[in-house]
Amino acid sequence: MIFPDGTEALQNITFELRRGEFVTIVGPSGCGKSTLLKIASGLLQPTNGTVEVDRERLGYVFQDATLLPWRTVSKNVELLAELHGIGVQERKKLVKESIELVDLEGFENHYPKSLSGGMKMRCSLARSLTLKPPVFLFDEPFGAVDEITREHLNEETQLLFKQEGFAGLFITHSISEAVFMSTKVLVMSARPGKIVAEFNIPFEYPRKPELRFDAAFAEMCGKVSVELRGSHS
Amino acid sequence: MNTLSKKQESSATVLSQPSRIRKYTSSFLPPLILGAGVLGVWYYISYGLLEEKRRFLLRPIHSVIEIGFLNGDNRTESLQALWSSTEVALIGLSIAIGLGFVLAILMSQAKFLERAIFPYMVTLQAIPILAIVPLISFWFGTGQRSRVVVCVIIALFPIIVNTLFGLQSAERGMHDLFTLHHANRLTRLRKLMFPAALPAIFAGLRISAGLSVIGAVVGDFFFGKGEAGIGQMLKKHANRLNGEELLSCVILSSALGVLVFWIFGVIQNKAVGRWHEANSAG
């Protein structure tokens, strides 16, 4: 991917993502992670190469929740189903299910301005879940929330992944977040972005919060960290 | 335990009563005090500064009320004029809203349309009404139609600018969301751009509502054929040095302006008050 101003953001990136896989890309900021996701989603066209993604019902969670402030939680969750022309009856059912999946029951009639950062993100997740997406893209979605909320959201995301069985592609710069949720972690180098290392994460799902204090977990994070540092220099 | 909680409850209701009163006094007291001050200065000028034969320059408030509002003939005449101007203002405002929306939506759909149209809107807005009065009278006569035209020219610009600004205010991420899910132009406009624009649209409407009253009065001042409006009354009373009637017409027209401003504030509160962060309409 080369931008019109000559910046080369991505170079020779090849990988495959199957259903039942949760791949996370970690990399330093400005390495082109978000660009990669924009290309995968079709928001950007690559200058070179091909991307094959089933974009019919794409799940996509942005860096911020991008909730429409004039819609209540349940109306926000309903939006994508509306855009895809799903009938009202079916829509209501999907909305209810999705809101249950992210534990937002009781907040259906709240407007986004009265929600916390974590709840906004959950609402945003629920919105994508209504489509039962086969592919789910996450663009550093939990970067803006506090550490405790972030860990909760990580736990919930991997549970959702296990339940719904989508193919997940997650972008982050947090190593522990990456290792905790993923089946596979890819390490990306800074400009032009290249994939420099690949780790399969063997831990069983559903993963418990205690996993974070496991020696094997720490060792895995250490390995990723070494590669990440190597890519940075 | 039970009695304790009950006690707390009752003390809470007792507390809320004075706090509500305090809320009202804090919002109404300052303007009332200032208003009383202004009346005091008014009387001081009428009776203290002006000698009797120069008192026509500023009539005391009670004689304005007596002659301007309580005198039956004057009142009927003023109210008829007020109604005529209200009509012009409402027609003008409606046309300005319709025209403003159409132009703003057009400009929001393509950058080149915005570049093409916007400079002319700024130009139109910059023309002093006085300068085009003769042209308007050539084209539209000197009756109600011309008054409405003046009204539209004056009220149009804030609607266009605010609506356009509002339509362009939806965040990039939200647009991306609609793009990802293949929303067409109309859906994007209806479900994203228009609701996002509502707070700005109402800000524009409130300004334009006030301006439409000014437009109606100014238009009436220049184009007096047919039913006389407030502008004609102002002209007549000014020529005859009827200070009381003149002031009563000024009061009536500004009251009309305040009323439409307030009405749009109420509609704004109903429409966006629940979700908009800075909800300051009242």
Q: What is the CATH number of the domain that holds B164?
A: 1.10.3720.10
Name the percent of chain B lying above pLDDT 90.
53
Would you call A66 and B177 a contact, using CB atoms and an 8 Å cutoff? yes
| Cα–Cα distance, A191 to B75 (Å, whole number) | 79
| Cα–Cα distance, B71 to B80 (Å, whole number) | 14
- Residues 185 to 204 of B: which have CB under 8 A from any A CB? 187, 191-192, 195-196, 198
Would you call A62 and B176 a contact, using CB atoms and an 8 Å cutoff? yes
Of the partner residues B171, B181, B272, the one whose CB lies closest to the CB of residue A83: B181
pLDDT above 70: residue A23: yes
Token digits of residue B25: 């006094």
At A204-221, the pLDDT tens digits run: 888 888 888 988 889 889
Mean pLDDT of B123-144: 90
Would you call A66 and B179 a contact, using CB atoms and an 8 Å cutoff? no
- Shortest distance between the Cα of B273 and any Cα of chain A, in A, equals 10
pLDDT above 80: residue A20: yes
Closest B-chain CA to A70: B275
**What domains are there in chain A, each with its CATH number?**
1-54+134-233 (3.40.50.300), 69-132 (no CATH)
Please name every residue paired with A98 in a beta bridge, in sequence order, or none if there are none: none
Residue A67 burial class via C-beta count within 10 angstroms: exposed 0-12, middle 13-18, buried 19 and up: buried
| Cα–Cα distance, B240 to B232 (Å, whole number) | 12
Would you call A63 and B177 a contact, using CB atoms and an 8 Å cutoff? no
A41 in reach of chain B (CB within 8 A): yes
pLDDT above 90: residue A72: yes
Chain Cα centroid distance, residue B4:
52
Neighbours of A185 (CB within 10 A): 27
- Residues 75 to 114 of A: which have CB under 8 A from any B CB? 79-80, 82-84, 111-113
Tokens 């720490």: give the residue. Answer: A218
Per-residue pLDDT band for B5 (boundaries 50, 70, 90) equals very low
Query: Could you give the count of Cα atoms lying within 13 Å of A18 in the half-sphere of its Cβ?
Result: 2
Chain Cα centroid distance, residue B61:
25
Range in A8-22, A173-187, A199-213, B161-175 the model is least confident about: A8-22
Per-residue pLDDT band for B276 (boundaries 50, 70, 90) equals confident
ipTM over 0.90: no
Range of the domain at B183: 60-272
Contacts of A71 in chain B (CB under 8 A): 275
B133 in reach of chain A (CB within 8 A): no
Whether residue B230 is contained in a domain is answered as: yes
According to the model, what pLDDT value does residue B90 have? 95
Mean pLDDT of chain B: 87
A56 in reach of chain B (CB within 8 A): no
| Residue, of B43 and A1, whose pLDDT is higher | B43
Q: Which phi and psi angles does A110 have, rounded to 5°?
A: -85, 150
Whether residue B47 is contained in a domain is answered as: no
Q: A142 to each of A65, A165, B40, B188, B229, how far by Cα in Å?
A: 9, 21, 62, 27, 62
Mean pLDDT of B128-135: 89
Of the partner residues A60, A84, A113, the one whose CB lies closest to the CB of residue B277: A113
Contacts of A111 in chain B (CB under 8 A): 274-275
pLDDT above 80: residue A11: no
Among residues B170, B165, B161, which one has the least CA distance to residue B192? B170
Whether residue B198 is contained in a domain is answered as: yes
Mean pLDDT of B262-279: 84
According to the model, what pLDDT value does residue A1 have? 67
Domain count, chain B: 1
- Provide the phi-psi class of A168: left if phi over 0, else alpha when psi is between -120 and 50, else beta: beta
Of the partner residues B174, B180, B274, the one whose CB lies closest to the CB of residue A60: B180
Whether residue B55 is contained in a domain is answered as: no
Whether residue B2 is contained in a domain is answered as: no
| Cα–Cα distance, B29 to A220 (Å, whole number) | 68
Whether residue B11 is contained in a domain is answered as: no
At B194-232, the pLDDT tens digits run: 999 999 999 999 999 999 999 999 999 999 888 889 999
* Chain A to chain B Cβ contacts (< 8 Å): 51
Q: Which phi and psi angles does B58 have, rounded to 5°?
A: -145, 100
pLDDT above 60: residue B12: no
Per-residue pLDDT band for B8 (boundaries 50, 70, 90) equals very low
Whether residue B21 is contained in a domain is answered as: no
pLDDT above 60: residue A69: yes
pLDDT above 50: residue A125: yes
Among residues B57, B75, B55, which one has the least CA distance to residue B65? B75
According to the model, what pLDDT value does residue A39 have? 87
| Cα–Cα distance, A50 to A58 (Å, whole number) | 18
Contact A177, A229 (CB under 8 A): no
According to the model, what pLDDT value does residue B278 have? 63
Closest B-chain CA to A57: B181
Q: A102 to each of A35, A60, A70, A73, how far by Cα in Å?
A: 28, 16, 21, 12
Per-residue pLDDT band for B4 (boundaries 50, 70, 90) equals very low
| Cα–Cα distance, A107 to B116 (Å, whole number) | 46
Contact B198, B221 (CB under 8 A): no
| Cα–Cα distance, B236 to B246 (Å, whole number) | 9
Instruction: Write the DSSP string, A122-184.
Output: HHHHHHHHTT--SEEEEESTTTTS-HHHHHHHHHHHHHHHHHH--EEEEEES-HHHHHHH-SE
Range in A28-32, A105-109, B80-84 the model is least confident about: A28-32
Whether residue B23 is contained in a domain is answered as: no
pLDDT above 70: residue A45: yes
